[in-house]
Chain A
Amino acid sequence: GQQLNQSPQSMFIQEGEDVSMNCTSSSIFNTWLWYKQDPGEGPVLLIALYKAGELTSNGRLTAQFGITRKDSFLNISASIPSDVGIYFCAGRRLSSNTGKLIFGQGTTLQVKP
């Protein structure tokens, strides 16, 4: 099925550093969601975005819905070891009438203490 283009695929950073990852699509989306998945568990919702240009924060996490409605980014500031995991972007196409989510390939984050 269709997937979003998410990058980078993986990151290995030092504790305290900031992190940025993004997703792009060739289609216009009306919803962007960011999830984190820990090993052996289901994804947990981090941030939901519904309007172009919307900038939303959740603690050290900040995400934005791109103006073109074809992209979104997630920033993590001052990373800590528990930020380790796989981050997925997900979105709904404007043309969808089922609410089906399309997922990015994921960004694996590793944080060195």
Chain B
Amino acid sequence: GAVVSQHPSRVICKSGTSVKIECRSLDFQATTMFWYRQFPKQSLMLMATSNEGSKATYEQGVEKDKFLINHASLTLSTLTVTSAHPEDSSFYICSARPGDYNSPLHFGNGTRLTVT
């Protein structure tokens, strides 16, 4: 149980274009999902908290106009990287928890974004 599916697993795009990444909870409902970014050989850094039916909460230093988050249903959150640039190239991982805020996070398999 508690499966989180992320799509696509890998995407290459040209500078200036936008990319959408989907995160789905397959066997549970998630009012909250979390988006992380991970640079090579580094830990996971929380970018934003996605809230179903309301605005996302962004961490300090994360541009909300750059990283658009939409949590349209209890099983789907999307992250759109707008006007992508090479420095946006990274590994993006979403996560969700099947219970209350104390329950463990379960992660998707990540999306490797390369901006050329």
A and B co-occur in one complex: yes
Residues of A within 8 A of B (CB): 1, 3, 30-31, 33, 35, 40-45, 48, 50, 88, 90, 92, 97-101, 103-106, 108
Q: How many residues of B contact A (CB 8 A)?
A: 29
Interface centre among A3, A30, A35, A100 (most CB of B within 10 A): A100
Contact status A104-B43, CB under 8 Å: yes
Partner pick for A88 among B41, B44, B110, B112, CB 8 A cutoff: B44
Q: Is B67 an interface residue (CB 8 A)?
A: no
Nearest chain B residue, comparing its CB with the CB of A104:
B43
Q: A90 vs B45: C-alpha distance in the bound complex, in angstroms?
A: 12
B residues whose Cβ falls under 8 Å from a Cβ of A: 4, 6, 32, 34, 41-46, 49, 57, 59-60, 91, 93, 95, 97, 100-102, 104-110, 112
Distance A104 CA – B45 CA, assembled complex (angstroms): 10
CB–CB B43/A101 < 8 A: no
Cross-chain contact B93 with A42 (CB below 8 angstroms): yes
A110 to B44, CA, bound (A): 20
Looking at A33, A42, A44, which has the most chain B CB atoms within 10 Å of its CB? A42
Q: Could you show 11 A-B contacts with beta carbons less than 8 Å apart?
A: A1-B60, A42-B95, A42-B107, A43-B44, A88-B44, A90-B105, A97-B101, A98-B57, A98-B101, A101-B46, A104-B43
A99 touches B97 (CB 8 A): yes
The 3 A-B pairs with the shortest beta carbon distances in the complex, nearest first, are A99-B101, A42-B107, A48-B104
Q: Which residues of A contact B93 (CB under 8 A)?
A: 42-43
